[in-house]
Amino acid sequence: MAKGSVAEFMDKIIAKNPGEKEFHQAVYEVADSLMPFIEKNPKYKQAKILERIAEPERVLMFRVPWLDDKGEVQVNRGFRIEMNSAIGPYKGGLRFHPSVNLGILKFLAFEQVFKNSLTTLPMGGGKGGSDFDPKGKSDNEVMKFCQSFMSELFRHIGPDTDVPAGDIGVGGREIGFLFGQYKRLRNEFTGVLTGKGRNWGGSLIRPEATGYGTLYFAEEMLKTKNDTMEGKVVTISGSGNVAQYATEKATQMGATVVSLSDSEGTVYDPKGIDEKKLAFVLELKNVKRGRIKEYASKYGCKFLPGKRPWGIKCDVALPCATQNEVDGNDAKALVKNGCICVSEGANMPSSPEAIDVFLKAKILYGLGKAANAGGVATSGLEMSQNSLRLSWTREEVDEKLHGIMVAIHEQCLKYGKENDFTNYMKGANIAGFVKVANSMLDQGVV
Ligand code: NDP
């Protein structure tokens, strides 16, 4: 797939990180966008900045033993990847999902470095998690697991060192259990995690931030074509945190959201998932922890078992579930059905083949590290509020989030403009790289 210096670079990455296919994919996407820029700026090449960025500063891997409700011992594996601290403390979420392995977390940590740089806030990149599956576990089991996980992780993190947040399978409940255990072990109340509850240091708008930000980014992309979200038909995948608030903001902007999904299939509601129906989804997913097909029975619409939403006709598509959930054929179907804009709430949801289809069709394609950066940006705002020991209003945080998404979009235009077309992928990768690379040059060979 790769050519010239990109191929040589990738050969070394693959040899050094065998079997980590998602990590190879993420590094290739960035290297392919960056190589011409690096060739023109030899200072980065001489200092081997790309080689250093692709090597984590530190990888932690640990045993997480815990007792389930039957009194049986369970053993999971925990990870924290401290990828890059050139511009601030490591920052990035924790993912609890059975598919979690070293390669997946390295891809997410690598992406996070560029994303955090794009937010304009002082945050380095990290990611972590476990192969623990919270699905089907009692609250007590989730708490036991979180306490055991933190009993090792607490040694390595801190408000000025490494500040984890949520991701797939880690929401408000898990952050609460993790924070409680950290506080108990360290005997200190600090902003060591973000996504905290409102009563104990959390920021307003943090739960909404990734989904809202994805829509603010889509709106900015559409503006370049003198268009808006108003009246658009939108397909969304996933039904977790990001999908829920993407649905809310899209609807507030005057669009009609016609799908949500989970790992069992897709619900298709051509009448639109309005405020009342979304309240049902929030209760179903966040409190009852049920499956999205229950939405179809409740509202008498279609459930497409085992299917993703990309075959449904739409103007705007928002992948908000997981990596590689849009393949080349999905992308072709989207373009054929008239989709003009893709804004990614999830991390790396589009496969390389899908990205090729979007770029060739010259549709507005907003990749995750730009379009979903609103979540970590608002985590950065939560860190600032914790340090200042004060809390901003909902309007203040939302305004800052909106301003950051506009600024990210501008950076993508600055580096990604190609005649009449904006290559947001190239723009985001170069813009994210420059700040980190220059900081690394300033700090010497470390
Ligand atoms: P949640 O755990 O809240 O929701 C995840 C959703 O995606 C669920 O509907 C889940 O379905 C579905 N899903 C997960 N894995 C798969 C899979 N392998 N196949 C099909 N569906 C799947 O996570 P979030 O909403 O927080 O995260 C969603 C995406 O957004 C991830 O890519 C994450 O990295 C990214 N992201 C999240 C941020 C945040 O602030 N939370 C910030 C930036 C990016 P099921 O319940 O059936 O597993």
Find out whether the beta carbon of 221 lies less than 6 Å from any atom of ligand 1. Answer: no
Q: Which of 2-6, 175-179, 308-312 has the lowest mean pLDDT?
A: 2-6
Q: What is the mean pLDDT of residues 291-314?
A: 98
- Supply φ then ψ for residue 61, to 5 degrees: -140, 130
- Listing from the earlier edge strand, what are the strands of the sheet with 125-130? 58-67, 73-84, 125-130, 90-96, 162-165
Find out whether the beta carbon of 208 lies less than 6 Å from any atom of ligand 1. Answer: no
CA distances, 420 to each of 224, 343, 362, 430, 432 (Å): 11, 19, 10, 19, 23
pLDDT per residue as tens digits for the range 202-259: 999 999 999 999 999 999 999 999 999 999 999 999 999 999 999 999 999 999 999 9
Q: Which residue owns the Cα nearest ligand 1 atom 15?
A: 322
Q: What is the mean pLDDT of residues 130-149?
A: 98
- Kindly tell me if the per-residue pLDDT of 2 is higher than 50: no
Closest CA to 269 of 303, 292, 310, 294: 303
Q: What is the mean pLDDT of residues 271-290?
A: 97
Q: What is the pTM (predicted TM-score) of this model?
A: 0.97
Q: Which residue owns the Cα nearest ligand 1 atom 17?
A: 263
CA of 168 to the centre of ligand 1 (A): 4
Checking DSSP bridges between strand 421-422 and strand 417-418, what pairing results, if any? Answer: antiparallel
State the distance between the two ends of the chain, measured CA to CA, in whole angstroms: 32
Which residues, 6 or more positions from 244, have their beta carbon under 8 angstroms from its beta carbon? 211, 278, 281, 282, 285, 286
**312 contacts 303 by C-beta, under 8 angstroms:** no
pLDDT per residue as tens digits for the range 35-66: 999 999 999 999 999 999 999 999 999 999 99
- The pLDDT value given to residue 3: 55
Burial of residue 172 (number of CB atoms within 10 Å: 0-12, 13-18, 19+): middle
Task: Please give the angle made by the CA atoms of 224, 225 and 228, to the nearest 5 degrees.
Answer: 90
- The pLDDT value given to residue 1: 42
- The pLDDT value given to residue 194: 98
CA of 69 to the centre of ligand 1 (A): 26
Looking at the chain, the whole-number percentage of residues with pLDDT higher than 90 is: 98
What dihedral angle (degrees, nearest 10) is formed by the CA atoms of 289, 181, 133, 246? 50
Q: Which residue owns the Cα nearest ligand 1 atom 42?
A: 375
Structure tokens at 403: 């301003």
Q: What is the mean pLDDT of residues 120-125?
A: 97
**105 contacts 131 by C-beta, under 8 angstroms:** no
Q: Which residue owns the Cα nearest ligand 1 atom 27?
A: 168
Find out whether the beta carbon of 134 lies less than 6 Å from any atom of ligand 1. Answer: no
Find out whether the beta carbon of 239 lies less than 6 Å from any atom of ligand 1. Answer: yes
- The pLDDT value given to residue 4: 72
Q: What is the mean pLDDT of residues 189-209?
A: 97
The answer to whether 127 is a known catalytic residue is yes
Q: What is the mean pLDDT of residues 427-435?
A: 98
Closest CA to 106 of 121, 122, 125: 125
Find out whether the beta carbon of 371 lies less than 6 Å from any atom of ligand 1. Answer: no
Find out whether the beta carbon of 167 lies less than 6 Å from any atom of ligand 1. Answer: yes
